């Protein structure tokens, strides 16, 4: 536990200054002697305006001010100082020869911290000044340490954000690379995986899903075909069309993916599992593996179903050539019954962004559109 006197350290670094504002030189001298006797520095002002100027210039620790002065009186000076954030913490003692209750109330209402009556009692003066200085030094300490603490909190927050960003980046990289390992056998590319997450994020965000849901779809969608790792090469890599039996086997990549991602601990992996299981389900109920219909299919699966088809149409595959954007959109339109109407509508609203995203990616992977013209 820190010694309490340490709280007063900021005030101990320099000599305490007390400003006395009074138009009566006699009282200025009395206060000056009292202040000297306490070992503090006395600064004087003979009217309200001069007091305000000296407060700005000298930054005293306490102001002792007479009420009745030519020009601006003590109440008005006090009000101004207490309304200014730069000086509102300056302790103010109003000194008056007025003894009536109304003047005392007016002094307190103007914001004064203490009231003293003329003639001044030396012992009372010492006690009141001592108390005000204790409070002032404690406030100075809080102010100084508050600023320091604020700076430290900002630094730590920036450090935490950087650390989180690194972890996030590492997570995405790991997902892309592990998924790519599975996709490698399918002759698909890392570009396809990345585009699926980018399209999905665009669409999910456009449809007003929560930030958390958008992020889960962004990170979970690249794993949609992870189950293909369980499909034999002879079927997965076959050039040309599959037999009905081979197609049935291909369909199991959804349930295999669901098994790989079973019992997830995080929201992202839960969404990844949901997408792996449902990205071939159709709104009209004619999809697989379970033939789910309408909103029985989770929104993540409905979104990835459409974006996966768009990207597959635009890309060259062993069994098909690449289509341009308009052709891909035309094919999607011709099969609109398989898509959630809201997802379908969102896709059309964002179609231009999908085109740009694919074209930008294709510039980096020209093989995607080997047989089509840019
Ligand atoms: Fe798939």
Express each pLDDT in 311-348 by its tens digit: 999 988 766 789 999 999 999 999 999 999 999 999 99
Question: Lowest-confidence range among 32-36, 170-174, 278-282?
Answer: 170-174
Same domain, 146 and 211: no
Average pLDDT over residues 61-73: 89
Please give the pLDDT value at position 13: 60
Number of domains in the chain: 2
* Ligand 1 center from residue 207 Cα (angstroms): 23
Determine which helix (DSSP H) or strand (DSSP E) holds 44, and give its type and residue range: strand 41-45
Same domain, 114 and 210: no
The DSSP output letter for 363 is H
Same domain, 200 and 334: yes
Same domain, 130 and 263: no
Express each pLDDT in 296-315 by its tens digit: 999 999 999 999 999 999 98
**Residue 196: inside a domain:** yes
* Ligand 1 center from residue 227 Cα (angstroms): 8
Half-sphere exposure of 198 (CA within 13 A, CB side): 17
CA distance 369 to 191: 13
Average pLDDT over residues 213-221: 93
CA distance 45 to 138: 27
**Residue 26: inside a domain:** yes
Same domain, 208 and 136: no
**Residue 213: inside a domain:** yes
**Residue 118: inside a domain:** yes
* Ligand 1 center from residue 30 Cα (angstroms): 93
* Ligand 1 center from residue 368 Cα (angstroms): 18
Residue 47 structural domain: 4-150
* Ligand 1 center from residue 90 Cα (angstroms): 71
**Residue 87: inside a domain:** yes
**Residue 179: inside a domain:** no
What SS3 state is found at 285? coil
Express each pLDDT in 258-310 by its tens digit: 999 988 877 888 999 999 999 999 999 999 999 999 999 999 999 999 999 99
Residues around ion ligand 1, judged by CB within 5 A, are 225
* Ligand 1 center from residue 367 Cα (angstroms): 21
CATH number, domain with residue 304: 1.10.3210.10
* Ligand 1 center from residue 276 Cα (angstroms): 7
Confidence band (pLDDT; 50, 70, 90) for 6?
Answer: very low
Counting residues of the chain whose pLDDT is more than 90, the rounded percentage is 49
Same domain, 107 and 223: no
* Ligand 1 center from residue 88 Cα (angstroms): 67
Same domain, 113 and 239: no
Same domain, 272 and 227: yes
**Residue 92: inside a domain:** yes
Flag whether pLDDT at 11 surpasses 50. Answer: no
User: Could you tell me the maximum CA-CA distance found in the chain, to the nearest angstrom?
Assistant: 113
**Residue 165: inside a domain:** no
What SS3 state is found at 177? helix
Flag whether pLDDT at 171 surpasses 90. Answer: no
Same domain, 349 and 214: yes
116 pairs with which residues across the strands?
95
Same domain, 110 and 239: no
* Ligand 1 center from residue 253 Cα (angstroms): 7
* Ligand 1 center from residue 310 Cα (angstroms): 13
* Ligand 1 center from residue 224 Cα (angstroms): 6
* Angle formed by the axes of helices 74-83 and 48-58, nearest 10°: 40
Same domain, 274 and 355: yes
The alpha carbon of 331 is separated from its chain's Cα centroid by a whole number of angstroms, namely 41
Same domain, 318 and 265: yes
* Ligand 1 center from residue 293 Cα (angstroms): 18
């Amino acid at each position: 536990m820190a010694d309490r006197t340490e709280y007063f350290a900021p005030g101990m670094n320099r000599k305490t200054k007390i400003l006395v504002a009074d138009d009566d030189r006699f009282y200025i001298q009395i206060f000056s002697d009292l202040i000297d006797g306490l070992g503090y520095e006395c600064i004087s002002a003979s009217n309200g305006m001069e007091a305000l100027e000296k407060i700005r210039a000298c930054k005293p620790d306490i102001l002792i001010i007479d009420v009745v002065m030519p020009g601006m009186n003590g109440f008005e000076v006090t009000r101004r100082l207490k309304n200014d954030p730069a000086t509102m913490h300056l302790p103010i003692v109003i000194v008056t020869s007025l003894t009536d209750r109304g003047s005392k109330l007016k002094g307190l209402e103007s914001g004064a911290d203490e009231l003293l009556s003329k003639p001044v009692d030396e012992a009372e003066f010492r006690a009141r000044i001592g108390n005000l200085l204790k409070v002032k030094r404690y406030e100075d300490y809080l102010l100084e340490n508050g600023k320091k603490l604020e700076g430290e909190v900002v630094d730590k927050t920036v450090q935490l954000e950087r650390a989180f960003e690194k972890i996030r980046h590492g997570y995405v990289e790991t997902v892309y690379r592990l998924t790519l390992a599975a996709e490698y056998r399918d002759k698909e590319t890392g570009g396809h995986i990345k585009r699926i997450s980018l399209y999905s994020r665009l669409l999910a965000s456009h449809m007003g899903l929560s930030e958390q849901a958008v992020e889960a779809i962004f990170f979970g969608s690249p794993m949609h075909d992870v189950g293909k790792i369980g499909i034999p090469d002879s079927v997965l890599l076959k050039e040309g069309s599959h037999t009905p039996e081979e197609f049935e086997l291909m369909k199991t990549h959804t349930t295999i993916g669901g098994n790989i991602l079973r019992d997830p601990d995080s929201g992202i992996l839960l969404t990844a599992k949901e997408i792996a299981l449902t990205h071939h389900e159709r709104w009209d109920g004619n999809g697989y593996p379970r033939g789910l219909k309408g909103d029985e299919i989770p929104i993540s699966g409905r979104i990835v179903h459409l974006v996966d088809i768009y990207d597959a149409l635009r890309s060259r595959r062993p069994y098909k050539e690449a289509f341009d954007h308009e052709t891909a959109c035309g094919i999607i339109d011709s099969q609109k019954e398989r898509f959630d109407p809201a997802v379908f509508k969102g896709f059309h609203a964002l179609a231009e962004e999908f085109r740009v995203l694919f074209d930008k990616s294709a510039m980096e992977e020209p093989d995607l559109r080997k047989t089509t013209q840019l």
